[in-house]
Structure formats: C-alpha cells, structure tokens
C-alpha cells in the first residue's frame, strides 16, 4: 500500500482518538453498519481531501465499509492529526497522504497522490471526489481533465468550496456533477454554527489562555460561522463587536444584541480579532497599523488569505516565532506588537482539534449518504451543483434526535389536511 504519513508508531494514540470520536458519532456508526452489510459503494474509488482528524477517520472507515477504496489527503497543511493518519494506515488499511506542517509543494504532491488513488505508475482515476475547499475539483479541472470520464460526482464540505463551484457552474466551466453538502441544513446549521462557534473559541483559548470575560472580541463576518462564534464569545462574557458588508446580516447582528461597526472603528477597541468571512484581505495593512498594542489576530475562514500576512510581515521590524505554541509575535516598526495565531490558518484546526465529533457526525453522515445517492443515480446527474436530497437530511435529523433520546410530535390528520389546503380560512 502506497501512503505518506509522519510516523506509523503514532498509531495507538490515533486509534484511541478515533474510537473516542466514534462514541459521539452514532449516525455515522449506524450508516457504517448498514454499509458493511449492503456494500453500496462496492468497487468504487473515493479520493477525499479533508481535514484529517479523528472524525474524518470515522467517515473514511464508513466509506471503506461500504466497499469503496478510499484515498485521503489533507485540505489544510496545519490540520492533520499525525497519530490519526498512522492509525488509518495501520489499523484500517486506508492510504493517507498527509503530514502536519508540510510545505506548499508537498501539500499539492499529496493531493495529486490521493487524486491518482495512490497509483505509483499509471494514474488511477477516482469515481467520487470529496472536498473541503475544492482542491481536488480544482486539480481535476486544471491538470487532470481526463479523469472526468471516470468521475461520477463530487461532494463539497465547506462554504468557500461551494462559492467556487457556483462560480464554475455560472461560467459553464464545471465538468462533473457536484453536491453542495455545506448547504444542507443538517450541515451548516450545526457544523458551521455550533461546530465553528465552539472550536474557534477552543483554538484561541488553547493558543493564548486569555480570559474572555471583559475582552472586546471583533468578529469579522456574521455568516453561520461568525454567528456561532459571536454567540459563544458573548456566552463567556466577552464584549462582542461585529463587522459586516452585508446589510441584512449586519441588521441581524444588531438585533441579536451585538455592536456593529466598520472595521476601521473597531481597531482601537479590539483585544482579539477573528475573521470568518470566506473572503480575502479582510484584515490588512491599514488595519494592523491602528490596532492596540498586544492585539491578537486569528482566522477561522477556510483559506489563510483573510489576514494579509505578507503586509503584516512588511510592517514588522521583528518576528518572534512560537512565543507560545501556535503564537507568533509581530513587532511593528511603530513599536506595537501583534500576535498571530496558527499562522493565520483555520484557528480551530491549527490550534485545537476542529469541530467536536457530535456535529461532524451529521456533516459526515451527509457525505456518506450523498456518495451513495450519487452512485445510485449516476445516469441522471449532469455537471451542475446539486443540493443534498431532502430525504437524506430528514433521515439524519430524525436519527440524530433518536440517538439523543429526544422524541417529537407528529401532525394529526386534521393538521396535515389544513396545511395542504388553500380553502380553509378563519
């Protein structure tokens, strides 16, 4: 088996983590049991470019139990859990191409290896691609177009990736069918909001150990991730400021009880700045110059472009790396210090362990069932961005509730009739 990981000797620690996560992933476990019996993914090759965490390992095990050959690579150079990769190789015989902290060249080499399904000579093509940030899709479209013949469909896990896919669809550039897993309600309402909310908090805390109570936290972006983080920061007693460009979201933030103001005005106030926008250059040169001495800056958006790090470097007379684990101090020429967390990469994965397994259970259940759906519907799919079928979402929500021991009501016949009628008045 061809693979590239840090150290196979880390496998036992990785296995413990995978099994720990599994305890919080009852929906994925249920799917795995059925997949093991029915083998709906038999003889299919799946290339997946995801954050390689203990939760992802449980997804990979599930796809593999369904009969697929799974090939994994990382969707971020700093999110890989090296003990998990070791266990995937040793205990589950799943080839992984990912090492935490690799350089750009190695990062893309790993993506190529997973996309080629681990083949060392002739390139093998996957039937399904699973992305968190569209790296596989981008590589297929730019360098490996011949693979499109074999690929049935792809799935996209994150907002940033879906934005790219929609741009490709608009420009008639999309060459194979894609499912916007991120846009499923059972994904973004939980993973983006509660997952990012808590894990972003966790990343900043683990890196800095600051007290949130009384701090002014500037949250850049009030999408689902920003909403989740703002809510959790407020819960710990921080004074939360929101910056937005979208008037509806800004209004929502105001009515949720937050201070809303332009970035420029927030600079003199903020103790911590966190970007969660999916856009580029949100915190840039003119902003760094006006921040308070000692301001902490972090990013929780997919790519490391939200904070203009090259500009920060240029403004600095000295950079002290790792003054704490995952904290770099930039001493500006104006004498102030700015602390950057996790090299500006996803702070929840670079400085902590990513979203807790309880929410990844729903996100990855969606991935697994959508892969099965794509295989069962191969003849009817076109190169478009598809939503996740509602039956899949309903099934996951019902099962998740059941695993939590929560029962809900059902409509009476009279209520069903009332809802489907347009003649009933007062």
Residues that bind ligand ADE (CB under 6 A): 50-51, 53, 55-56, 349, 354-355, 360
Nearer to ligand ADE, 44 or 355 (CB): 355
Q: How far is the CB of 182 from ligand ADE (least distance, A)?
A: 11
Residues in the chain, total: 426
Cα–Cα distance measured from residue 412 to residue 22, given in angstroms and rounded to the nearest whole number? 37
Residue with tokens 């702070």: 347
Rounded least distance, CB 326 to ligand ADE, Å? 16
Of residues 140 and 349, the one with the C-beta less far from ligand ADE: 349
Closest approach of Cβ 351 to ligand ADE, in Å?
Answer: 12
Q: In this chain, which residue has its C-beta nearest to ligand ADE?
A: 354
**Distance between CA 161 and CA 153 in Å, rounded?**
15
Closest CB 353 distance from ligand ADE, rounded Å: 6
Q: What are the start-end ranges of the H helices in 316-426?
A: 347-350, 357-376, 390-403, 413-420
Closer residue to ligand ADE (CB): 56 or 243: 56
In the complex with ligand ADE, the residue whose CB is nearer, 53 or 62, is 53
Q: Which is nearer to ligand ADE, 53 or 275 (CB)?
A: 53
Closest separation in Å from C-beta 84 to ligand ADE: 10
- Which strands sit side by side in the sheet containing 337-341, from one edge to the other? 259-260, 239-243, 216-220, 272-275, 295-299, 337-341, 327-332, 316-324
Least distance in angstroms from the C-beta of 261 to ligand ADE: 29
* Beta carbon nearer to ligand ADE, 168 or 360: 360
Query: At closest approach, how far in Å is the CB of 18 from ligand ADE?
Result: 11
Task: Order the strands of the 385-386 sheet from edge to edge.
Answer: 96-97, 69-74, 45-50, 128-131, 153-156, 178-180, 385-386
Task: For 217-248, give the DSSP string.
Answer: EEEE--SHHHHHHHHHHHHTT-EEEEE-S-HH
Six-digit token string for 183: 């846009």
Query: Is 160 within 8 Å of 306 (Cβ atoms)?
Result: no
The nearer residue to ligand ADE, 56 or 266, going by C-beta atoms, is 56
């Amino acid at each position: 088996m061809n693979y590239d990981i840090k150290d196979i000797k880390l496998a036992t620690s990785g296995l413990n983590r995978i099994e720990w996560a599994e305890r919080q992933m009852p929906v994925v476990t249920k799917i795995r049991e059925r997949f093991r019996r029915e083998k709906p993914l038999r003889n299919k090759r799946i290339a997946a470019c995801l954050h390689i965490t203990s939760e992802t390992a449980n997804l990979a095990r599930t796809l593999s139990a369904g009969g697929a050959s799974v090939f994994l690579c990382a969707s971020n150079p700093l999110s890989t859990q090296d003990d998990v990769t070791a266990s995937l190789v040793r205990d589950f015989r799943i080839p992984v191409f990912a090492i935490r902290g690799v350089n750009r060249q190695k990062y893309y080499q790993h993506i190529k290896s997973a996309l080629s399904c681990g083949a060392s000579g002739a390139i093998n093509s996957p039937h399904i691609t699973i992305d968190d940030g569209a790296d596989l899709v981008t590589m297929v479209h730019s360098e490996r177009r011949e693979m499109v013949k074999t690929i049935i469909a792809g799935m996209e896990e994150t907002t940033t990736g879906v934005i790219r896919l929609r741009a490709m669809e608009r420009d008639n550039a999309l060459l194979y069918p894609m499912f916007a897993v991120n846009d499923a309600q059972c994904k973004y309402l939980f993973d983006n909001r509660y997952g990012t909310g808590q894990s972003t908090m966790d990343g900043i805390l683990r890196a800095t150990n600051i007290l949130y109570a009384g701090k002014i936290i500037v949250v850049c972006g009030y999408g689902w991730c920003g909403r989740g983080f703002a809510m959790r920061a407020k819960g710990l007693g921080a004074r939360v400021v929101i910056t937005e460009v979208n008037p509806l979201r800004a209004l929502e933030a105001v009515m949720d009880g937050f201070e809303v103001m332009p970035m420029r005005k927030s600079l003199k106030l903020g103790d911590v700045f966190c970007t969660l926008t999916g856009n580029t250059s949100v915190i840039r040169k003119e902003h760094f110059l006006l921040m308070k001495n000692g301001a902490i800056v972090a990013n929780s958006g997919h790519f490391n472009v939200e904070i203009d790090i090259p500009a920060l470097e240029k403004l600095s007379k000295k950079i002290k790396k790792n003054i704490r684990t995952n904290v770099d101090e930039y001493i500006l020429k104006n004498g102030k210090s700015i602390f950057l967390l996790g090299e500006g990469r996803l702070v929840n994965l670079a400085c902590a362990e990513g979203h807790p397994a309880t929410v990844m259970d729903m996100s990855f259940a969606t991935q697994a069932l959508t892969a099965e759906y794509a295989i069962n519907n191969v003849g009817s799919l076109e190169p478009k961005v598809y939503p996740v079928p509602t039956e899949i979402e309903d099934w996951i929500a019902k099962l998740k509730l059941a695993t939590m021991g929560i029962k809900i009501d059902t409509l009476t016949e009279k209520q069903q009739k009332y809802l489907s009628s347009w003649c009933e008045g007062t």
